[in-house]
Chain A
């Protein structure tokens, strides 16, 4: 099943802003929106943003999600060392009748 497209890696400095992208098509991101997950090495993923771009309870305001057409974005402001992790986007594909994930972006905080 075709997945979503994410850049493999992004590097930014401490306290800077990182914007991660996730590109799909009109059957998934463009139609249903994308949810964002953070995963630290050796741990299960954690939801950062629902498909409607709202944050779950307990997620820092430094994380914000948006969508334009078939591309979803996750913006992380004031980067901290603990933000260094893998970030995945996910969406329901109404044509495939399946959930699809992006390949993940490894964020490095310099």
Chain B
């Protein structure tokens, strides 16, 4: 069955960086567009970034453009999100999601807390 497992979250000071990972299994990872979506505590969902099958196309939300970088390693079936220049408003659970005419599978999420 499809599984997405995020890791790499934690507490970081403003201006700091983290690398989030999402290990995929149960499907042909290299055949799907993948996304990161975040959810601040008590808030709704916010799309963060997407990456095409082969990594050739990447799109970002305006709120993270220039600070976050999405990447993937199809040989390891793993999706990444490098988050830098972090701000308090980046505090959220970060989910990776598989796309098939919508976000059809989600991981459990990894919490990033930006605090001094």
Residues of A within 8 A of B (CB): 1, 35-37, 39, 44-47, 49-52, 56, 86, 88, 90, 97-104
Partner of B50, one of A50, A56, A99: A99
Are A56's CB and B47's CB within 8 A?
no
Complex alpha-carbon distance, A49 and B104, angstroms: 9
Report chain A residues within 8 Å CB of B54: none
Complex alpha-carbon distance, A86 and B104, angstroms: 17
Q: What is the chain A residue whose CB lies nearest that of B102?
A: A35
Partner of B35, one of A47, A86, A99: A99
Report chain A residues within 8 Å CB of B26: none
Query: Taking chain B's interface residues, is the majority helix, strand, or loop, or is none over half, making it mixed?
Result: strand
Q: What is the chain B residue whose CB lies nearest that of A96?
A: B62
Are A90's CB and B103's CB within 8 A?
yes
Report chain A residues within 8 Å CB of B107: 44
Pairs A-B, 5 closest by C-beta atoms: A35-B102, A99-B47, A44-B106, A50-B101, A104-B44
Q: What is the chain B residue whose CB lies nearest that of A43?
A: B108
Q: What is the chain A residue whose CB lies nearest that of B60?
A: A98
Are A44's CB and B109's CB within 8 A?
yes
**Interchain residue pairs with CB less than 8 A apart (6):** A35-B103, A47-B103, A50-B104, A56-B104, A97-B59, A101-B46
